[in-house]
Amino acid sequence: MPQKSTAVSCSNIAFIKYWGNRDAARRIPLNNSISMNLDHATTTTTVAFEDARDDDHIVIGGALANAAQRARVVAHLDRVRALAQIESRARVQSQNNFPMGAGIASSASAFAALSLAATRAAGLELPERELSILARQGSGSACRSIPGGFVEWLAGTESANSYAVSIAPPTFWELRDVIAIVSTAEKKIGSTDGHRAASSSHFLAERVNALSARLARVRRALFAHDLAALGAAIEEDAIELHLIAMTSAPPIFYWSPEMVRVIEAARAWRADGLGVYFTLDAGPNVHLICESKDADQVAARAREISDVRQVIVNAPGGAARLGEEHLF
């Protein structure tokens, strides 16, 4: 069996968010979600299973994994060992191409890359659906980083039918996600806890009821290349994610003054005729969605906002893939 394998995988930005689980342990979500892979936010991971090793050795971004990171990666390696029926411990090294601590969600690209690299290193060749199911168990949104381009996660009802599929290839629409980074601080409440808290918001049931119509609007807008229709739907959904978080018990404030200032700026540019819409993650950074023809303009204006520390422009990214160059 191949002992060492490397995978590269994109992070993704959700147009319709995953927020709340039907089954928290297996990460089976309450609703379908739709996302775009981000070609400039990738994780590269090398995994080798080594018979002589007596413990997993995990390095992330050049440093030994801390206890929480380690527990999550080892649990994922255990899933792979169970699938491959092997006992060997692994050496894992992982590196993001975007600055660590930039507040860009890295668990999606990290668990997608880990799933592909570890299964190959263990001698398995899983079909895309199985790989997506595996990645989902490490981090829900990671299942959407396995297929390429524009992706829908089919919520399903159990582990075997909760996975993501590509609904359009990366070349389908020259959209851009211009990420305006306003804070590099680690968020205080991770998304795993956020998903758990969501059910305490009395707005959650209403959100879930409204989602099938919004999902349909996003699919329609995407297939029609209709940015105004897409933008209206994704802004609603982003605000709703934060509404649920802020009305959870206890409330979670990912919402921040800097974020609101960038949102207000984007709305003003739009009133000026620039085709730009925002979406948000469980963090303070603002994702400015526009077409490629406007991306330079959006990035230049974002850089002028004093709250914005850095701007990263992303085109739609491809599927998780094997890499040629191992990290060790």
Residue type, 230: L
Binding positions for ligand PMV, 246-305, rule CB under 6 A: 281-282
Binding positions for ligand PMV, 9-28, rule CB under 6 A: 14, 17-19
* Least separation in angstroms between CB 17 and ligand PMV: 4
Residue 5 or 43: the one with the smaller Cβ distance to ligand PMV is 43
Number of residues assigned to the chain:
328
CB-based contacts of 318, cutoff 8 Å, min separation 6: 10, 37, 39, 148, 149, 170
Q: Is 307 in the site for ligand PMV (CB under 6 A)?
A: no
Binding positions for ligand PMV, 22-61, rule CB under 6 A: 33
Residue 48 or 238: the one with the smaller Cβ distance to ligand PMV is 238
Q: Is 139 in the site for ligand PMV (CB under 6 A)?
A: yes
Q: Please tell me the chain's helix, strand, coil percentages from 3-state DSSP, rounded to the nearest 5.
A: 40, 25, 35
Q: Is 141 in the site for ligand PMV (CB under 6 A)?
A: yes
The region of 93-101, 125-133, 136-144, 156-164 touching ligand PMV under the rule CB under 6 A is: 136-144
Residue 140 or 269: the one with the smaller Cβ distance to ligand PMV is 140
Alpha-helical (H) ranges within 91-190 are 107-121, 128-138
Binding positions for ligand PMV, 169-198, rule CB under 6 A: 191-192, 195
What is d(CA 262, CA 264) in angstroms, rounded to the nearest whole number? 5
What is d(CA 183, CA 259) in angstroms, rounded to the nearest whole number? 9
Angle at 259 between CA 253 and CA 262, to 5 degrees: 165
Q: Is 107 in the site for ligand PMV (CB under 6 A)?
A: yes
Binding positions for ligand PMV, 235-254, rule CB under 6 A: 241
* Least separation in angstroms between CB 87 and ligand PMV: 29
Residue 132 or 141: the one with the smaller Cβ distance to ligand PMV is 141
What is the DSSP secondary-structure string of 17-32? ----EEETTTTEESS-
Smallest CA-to-CA distance from 20 within 140, 198, 191 is with 198
My answer on whether omega of the bond before 250 falls inside 30° of 0, hence cis, is yes
What is d(CA 44, CA 23) in angstroms, rounded to the nearest whole number? 29
- Count of residues that bind ligand PMV according to CB under 6 A: 17
The region of 43-51, 80-88, 101-109, 215-223 touching ligand PMV under the rule CB under 6 A is: 101-109
**Residue ranges that bind ligand PMV, judged by CB under 6 A:** 14, 17-19, 33, 105, 107-108, 139-141, 191-192, 195, 241, 281-282
